[in-house]
Amino acid sequence: MSFIVESSNLTKAYGGRTVVDGLDLRIPEGSVYGFLGPNGSGKSTTMKMLLSLIRPTGGEVEVLGQPMNRSTRRQLLGSIGSLIESPPGYAHLTGAENMRIVQRLLGLDDAQVDFAVKTVRMHGQMGKRVREYSLGMKQRLGIAMALARQPKLLILDEPTNGLDPAGIEEIRELLRRLADGGVTVMVSSHLLGEVDKTATVLGILSQGRMIFQGTRADLFSAATPDLLIDCSDPRRAQSMLARAHGARLEDTTVRLAGVDSDEATAGVVTGLVAEGIGVHGVRRDEQTLESVFMGLTAGGGL
Amino acid sequence: MNALAAEFSKLKRSLSWAVVVLLPIVLVATGLIMTLIDGRGLEDGWHTLWMRSIVFYGLFPLSVGIAILASLVWRAEHRGSNWNALMAGPTPSLQIIIAKAAVISVLAAIMQVIAVVTTVALGMIGFGLPGFLPPEYLAISLLIILASVPVAVLQSWLSMQMRSFAAPVAVAFLGAGFSAFLLVVGLDAAIFISPYAALSRATQLGTATFADTGDITAGVIAAIIAACLLLSTLLAAANTVVLERADART
């Protein structure tokens, strides 16, 4: 698999405080990379380093197969669209005038600008001044400004922040369409639900460290779900298994944590049967991505 | 240059235009009204008029005006994430610096034209002076426009660096005041160190006021031009180096 973004030991410290700590990012080409983490976990700082808006304290970044640094950034940034923190846009100018500035700076033709504006469905609003735009419209104009250069890589920092559910769904839909069109998208959020359904690869950041990176399936297998047992005498089964497995009783179901292999599961069942308890149900708990995420970022204050 | 065209687009509906038009008119008129209140007439006709309008204006209001323009031009970049967007684009830092300084310089040039037009109008209509402004002052105006460039470059840098609107204006006010003092005490070489001094010096040319002897010599003109080119180049280069190394804030 080829990676469009690859970092090694990427680190940023301000004074003695390490904000981003030894990240090895791997963003596969053509993926939608969901970059997750609580507020203040270092997502924006990381994205700014990928764009060379800020310089790393340590480590390196490769984008589009080339090292990204101050001497290469201007050449690489022509193929990277980005939206960092709040959406850009000159408030005293209209949407069309803002797009014209982007067009001039990047040397784009009218068709590229029209395409970007139509993609975000803003063609009806271009005569209005940005100051009169709603947050959602500003967000979409910002994405159009990033898209007009027809980037190979799009880096979006919390693009759904402050949007209503319809706006969020619209951005999700847009990201899917872009990915289908071959653009690699890196999108950050502090809410799992916002990128869960769109992202093909996830990176989870907590206090500046990458605590998980991989596919959704990888994420599920990284955390073992609880074992649930239904039996003829749940009360006695719970007290039997309390010490070894921290068994808890939920209605008539016994919940066991940390039983992580088939052998261990079989051992638990054998033990119950040997004590004359009839076992009629053994299953794994249904796990939501949310609970896995919460478990990984425990105490992150989400 | 694409960056330059983009910069000019940003001036649409900008407050800068109000400054460009009103500031020179108000200040040139103020300079004259002050002398009239003092009860002094225009003893030497157009020359006195020029001294009391443009030379007064050049002491510090012109530098402060350029500083206000620079702060206005940069204010849009400091809002929201416009600065991030600009720095996350392919435009080289040097082009960004030159485009900003160029826009401020052009606004300053228009301001000078308006200052001269105001002076001529006051002379002919207000004071009924015979004839027209002596032609050497038109040539000097071109030199003043050139001397505005290093101030524009410096103020652009200050306004890029400081997010505050007022702080760079205060620097211009103090810098121009101190530079005027250096010229008064005869430290003519200050024009090679302070852009404000170079600009003030240009406005004083041929008036025998402050640092000027009253003679317009090729040597003095060459020194002013050399100072402007030197300061503009050095400041723009230094600004570019700083911008290349700096981390984006916010």
Residue A266: partners with Cβ closer than 8 Å, 6 or more residues away: none
Chain A partners within 8 Å of B90 (Cβ) = 74-75, 77-78, 105-106
ipTM, two decimals: 0.91
Percent of chain A with pLDDT over 90: 65
Handedness of CA B204, B205, B207, B211 (dihedral sign): positive
Size of interface A-B (CB pairs under 8 A): 84
Model pLDDT, residue B180: 93
Q: CB-CB: which of A74, A84, A85 is closest to B90?
A: A74
Structural domains of chain A sorted by starting position, each given as residue range(s) with its CATH number in brackets: 3-221 (3.40.50.300), 225-286 (3.30.70)
Q: What CA–CA distance (Å, rounded) separates B51 from B62? A: 14
Q: Which two tokens stand for residue A24?
A: 């090895």
Inspect the interface and report whether the beta carbons of B85 and A74 lie closer than 8 Å. Answer: no
> Most A CBs within 10 Å: which of B4, B75, B81, as the mutation test of the A interface?
B81
CA distance readout (Å), A164 to A125, A159, A293 = 19, 12, 23
Phi then psi for A26, rounded to 5 degrees? Answer: -135, 105
Chain B partners within 8 Å of A84 (Cβ) = 81, 84-85, 88
Chain A partners within 8 Å of B81 (Cβ) = 83-88
Q: Which two tokens stand for residue B6?
A: 């983009």
Q: What is the mean pLDDT of residues B69-82?
A: 95
Model pLDDT, residue B250: 62
Q: What CA–CA distance (Å, rounded) separates B39 from A88? A: 55
Q: What is the mean pLDDT of residues B15-26?
A: 95
Query: Which amino acid, A174?
Result: L
Q: What CA–CA distance (Å, rounded) separates B223 from B11? A: 33
Q: At CB < 8 Å, which residues of chain B contact A?
A: 2-3, 5-6, 9-10, 12-14, 76, 79-82, 84-85, 87-93, 244-245, 247-248, 250
The average confidence (pLDDT) of chain A is 90
The single-letter DSSP state of residue A251 is T
C-beta neighbour count of B150 within 10 angstroms:
28
Inspect the interface and report whether the beta carbons of A93 and B10 lie closer than 8 Å. Answer: yes
Return the domain boundaries, chain B.
Answer: 14-244
Q: Which two tokens stand for residue B69?
A: 């323009």
Inspect the interface and report whether the beta carbons of A97 and B80 lie closer than 8 Å. Answer: no
Do the beta carbons of residue A183 and residue A154 sit within 8 Å? yes
* Confidence category of residue A48, pLDDT binned at 50, 70, 90: very high
Percent of chain B with pLDDT over 70: 99
Model pLDDT, residue B36: 78
Q: Pick from A147, A151, A146, A149: which is nearest to A184 by CA?
A: A151
Angle, nearest 10°, between helix axes A95-106 and A110-119?
A: 130
Do the beta carbons of residue B66 and residue B155 sit within 8 Å? yes
Task: List, in sequence order, every residue forming a beta bridge with A209; answer none if it has no partner.
Answer: A206
At A128-175, the pLDDT tens digits run 999 999 988 999 999 999 999 999 999 999 998 878 888 888 888 889
Q: Give per-residue burial for B231-242: e unless 16+ CB within 10 Å, then b.
A: bbeebbeebbee
Percent of chain A with pLDDT over 70: 96
